[in-house]
Each structure stands twice: as C-alpha cells, then as structure tokens.
Chains A and B, each alone.
Chain A
Amino acid sequence: MRLLLIHAIMAAFLTYFAFQHAITGGMPYTAISATLLFAAVMFILWLSTYFYRRTYFHKLPKLLYFILFFIKELLVANLKIAYDIITPHFRIQPTVMAYPLTAKTDLEISLLANLLGLTPGTLSIDVSEDRSTLFVHTLYLKHGDVQHLKQHIKNGYERRILELTA
C-alpha cells in the first residue's frame, strides 16, 4: 500500500518533469498522453519490484482486476435498480441477512461494508459486537435463496479483499 503510493507520486513527478523539459519530443500536453506516460512509468516501477518486493509484484494485477470488477458491479447495480424504478412492478424481495464474516481486522471489515454499500441491492446495516456477523439489507435474491447470495459475497468480494490485505 505504502509502496503503491510512493510509486504513484514518483511516476506523477517524472511525468510532469518529462513534459516540463520537453523530453517527450513534441508529444501534446493532454490528459491522454499524460495518462499513457504515467502508466508506462508505473509499469516499469512495477516490473522492478520483482527483485525486491515480490508480494507487491503479485498484488498489483489483482488490485487492477478488483477495480475493474468493482466498476462492473457498480454498473450492474445501477442498471438493476434503474430497471426496477422505471418499470411499474417491483421485482424486489428485501431481506436482512446475517452474513458470517471471515474478515477480522477493522480495515477488512470496513472495506467489505463499504463495498457492499455500492454493489447490487445491498446495504450494510451493522456489525455484531463480537465482529462475527455483518447485517446486510439486500434487495435481490435469486429464487429467495439467501445462501446463494452469501456464497456470492464470500467468493466475489471478501476473498478478493482478503487477498489484497493479506
């Protein structure tokens, strides 16, 4: 996490420096070219971590994949809710479920609760005092099956979060 921040700041400064001193050779100073240059610098820095920080080397692709997955889930969430809103009948079956947490630390639990706030039909309500269950308000259940959704959360979100924070 800290390494990612350091790398991002380094890459940003390098990009800025390159444009200031016209090292890029007549490349226009626009968002697209700056993003490409930034990505290239980040890629080289990421390759270099293979020699001194192997965990980071393995985690960064997972992080990127996780961000893409999150954007996809966010779009799906919005389209589902939008479909329900603009058609006359609700297809929702609201349920409050007790989701058994595997995540233990504060960071993991708050990340998971945050994520559930933005993904299809779910809203985290509360964590039990012994931190073993998360109460989640959900709107969409496949065939009224709570276990199915729990499995989906466990394999979809929680596993990825645990992989990233481990």
Chain B
Amino acid sequence: METSIDWELVREIISCVFILAGACFMLIASIGLLRFPDFYIRMSAITKGSTLGLGLILMGMAIYFNQPGVLLKVLAIITFTYVTAPVAAHVIGRTAVQNGIAFWGKTNLEEFKGYLMKHRLERHTNQDRYTEEVPPAMMEKDGGAGDAAGKV
C-alpha cells in the first residue's frame, strides 16, 4: 500500500457532482419555464426538473455528511417530495383545464374533445397562438363557464 485513498476527498467529489447535476437540472427546468409555449408543457417540464434536482441535491448532501441520521432525514424528505410533487402538478393542471386555459395550437386534442364538450370548455381550445392576455370581456365569460362546469 504505497498510496492510501483519501476517502473524504472522494466523498466530497461525488457529492459535488450530485449537487451540480441537481442544480443544472433545476436551471434547465427554469429555462424551460420561459421557453415552452403553453401552460401544460411548462407544468410537465417544471415538475420533473425540480423533483429530480431536489433529490440529487439532497443526496449530495447526505453523501457529504455521511451520517446515518442525515441519510434517514434526506430519504424521508425525498420520499415525501416525490409523492406530493406530482399531486400538485395534477391539481394545477386539472384546475387549468377547468378554467379553460388554452392549449398550444399544435396540440392534438382528438381524444379529449368529449371531455371538453361535456364540461362546456370547447371554445377555449386550440387557439392559433398562445396568448397570455385575454380581453376582459372574454375573461368574464370564461369565468362564468368555469363556474358552471365546476357545479356540474
């Protein structure tokens, strides 16, 4: 044994890689939030990016500290985040549909038409261009339709 491996250094490097990868995934997801054309695509990009990013950063922390207590807490946080993050995404996406947020123009909605007809949301779909500014008159109408759909 001429050279002994410095395990602390190895651990530090591994945790650095994990934390950097997590931060990169989060950064890319945030760029996606700006770049993607419609609400639903943004939603699916940001949930994946942020959950994986958080998981990697926490794992990096657990590897750095190398204590069973920290590892246990980190695993608990990761489990609960991974269970709850998609629930939040699902609820926000569903609310958006119910409130008639428009889909991107290129979205293929063939199998979704029945659902939209049933909830009287068909006129909000497939606008040619995704616009965030809705004229106030239309917004009132949308709100009314959304309420009606909610009651049904």
Residue from A93, A123, A135 in contact with B47 in the complex, judged by beta carbons closer than 8 Å: A123
Are the C-beta atoms of A121 and B44 separated by less than 8 Å?
yes
Q: Is B90 at the interface (CB under 8 A from chain A)?
A: yes
Taking CB atoms and an 8 Å cut-off, the chain A residues in 69-94 that contact chain B are 74-75, 77-78, 81-82, 84-86, 90, 92-94
- Assembled-state Cα–Cα distance A81/B44 (Å): 9
Number of residue pairs A-B, CB distance < 8 angstroms: 132
Minimum C-beta distance from A90 to chain B (A):
8
Highest count of chain B CB atoms <10 Å: which of A19, A32, A81: A81
Minimum C-beta distance from A77 to chain B (A):
5
Closest to B111 in A: A98
Are the C-beta atoms of B66 and A32 separated by less than 8 Å?
yes
- Assembled-state Cα–Cα distance A83/B142 (Å): 36
Cβ–Cβ < 8 Å partners of A116 in chain B? 86
Cβ–Cβ < 8 Å partners of A97 in chain B? 111-112
Are the C-beta atoms of B51 and A125 separated by less than 8 Å?
no
Q: Is A137 at the interface (CB under 8 A from chain B)?
A: yes
With A117-B47, A117-B86, A137-B40 as known contacts, state yes or no: A31 contacts B68, CB within 8 Å.
Answer: yes
Are the C-beta atoms of B108 and A93 separated by less than 8 Å?
yes
Are the C-beta atoms of A81 and B29 separated by less than 8 Å?
yes
- Assembled-state Cα–Cα distance A128/B115 (Å): 8
Q: Is B13 at the interface (CB under 8 A from chain A)?
A: no
A contact residues vs B (CB 8 Å cutoff): 12, 15, 19, 29-32, 34-35, 74-75, 77-78, 81-82, 84-86, 90, 92-98, 113-118, 121-126, 128, 135, 137, 139, 146
| A and B contact pairs by CB, cutoff 8 A, 30 listed | A15-B68, A30-B67, A31-B63, A34-B71, A75-B52, A78-B25, A78-B48, A78-B49, A78-B52, A81-B28, A81-B48, A82-B29, A82-B49, A85-B35, A94-B38, A94-B41, A94-B104, A94-B108, A95-B111, A98-B111, A114-B86, A117-B90, A123-B40, A124-B86, A125-B40, A125-B93, A126-B97, A135-B115, A137-B93, A139-B41
